[in-house]
């Protein structure tokens, strides 16, 4: 179960390793929970660079990610806020992008493509069942989908979309 934002120091609970990705306000690094040895991906947000609106979006992302528990959605395990930084600890997915998998193959069968689309649609359905609307649909492109090498299908990996999004109660309350 994902914990709420804690007062714990991130470095008391986790050890950081190499960078996995980078954005305008954040960096993603592999990390390990010290007591258990379990590996995760830590999204480290420099909150000093965020506007008040961006802070609200960050809190909304964490709140929404806590709601989503589905095998095809990257799961939030922890959220730690410190002076100047906010850490979101997600599942570590090491299989690369779906796009890379498509390019690496000479042939992508209809069955494999159908299986990927089915997983994406199941993920979107799970979001909708939890009152979450993911906008825009273009975020579901192959470069935005991670492959989970631990979940083979016909010898291939499954896409695991990460879908922080917006909340809805029978109507759209927020937009991305």
Binding positions for ATP are: 43
Q: Which residues are annotated as a binding site?
A: 43
45's enclosing H/E stretch is strand 39-46
Sign of the C-alpha dihedral, residues 19, 137, 51, 88? negative
Q: To which residue do tokens 């420099």 refer?
A: 46
Pairing of strands 132-133, 156-161: unpaired
Residues 88 and 92: their CA atoms lie apart, in Å, by: 12
Total Cβ atoms within 10 A of residue 171: 6
- Looking at residue 74, the DSSP 8-state letter turns out to be P
């Amino acid at each position: 179960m994902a914990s709420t934002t804690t007062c714990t120091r991130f470095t008391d609970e986790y050890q950081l390793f190499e960078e996995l990705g980078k954005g305008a306000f954040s960096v993603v690094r592999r990390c390990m929970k010290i007591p258990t040895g379990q590996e995760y991906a830590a999204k480290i947000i420099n909150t000093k660079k965020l506007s008040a609106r961006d802070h609200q979006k960050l809190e909304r992302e964490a709140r929404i990610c806590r709601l989503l528990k589905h095998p095809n959605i990257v799961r939030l395990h922890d959220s730690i806020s410190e002076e100047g930084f906010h850490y979101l600890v997600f599942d570590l997915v090491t299989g690369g992008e779906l796009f890379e998998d498509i390019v690496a193959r000479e042939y992508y069968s209809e069955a494999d493509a159908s299986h990927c689309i089915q997983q994406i649609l199941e993920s979107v359905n799970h979001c909708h069942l939890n009152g979450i609307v993911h906008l825009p649909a273009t975020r579901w492109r192959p470069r935005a989908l991670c492959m989970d090498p631990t979940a083979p299908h016909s010898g291939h990996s499954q896409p695991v979309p990460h879908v922080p999004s917006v909340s809805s109660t029978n109507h759209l309350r927020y937009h991305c």
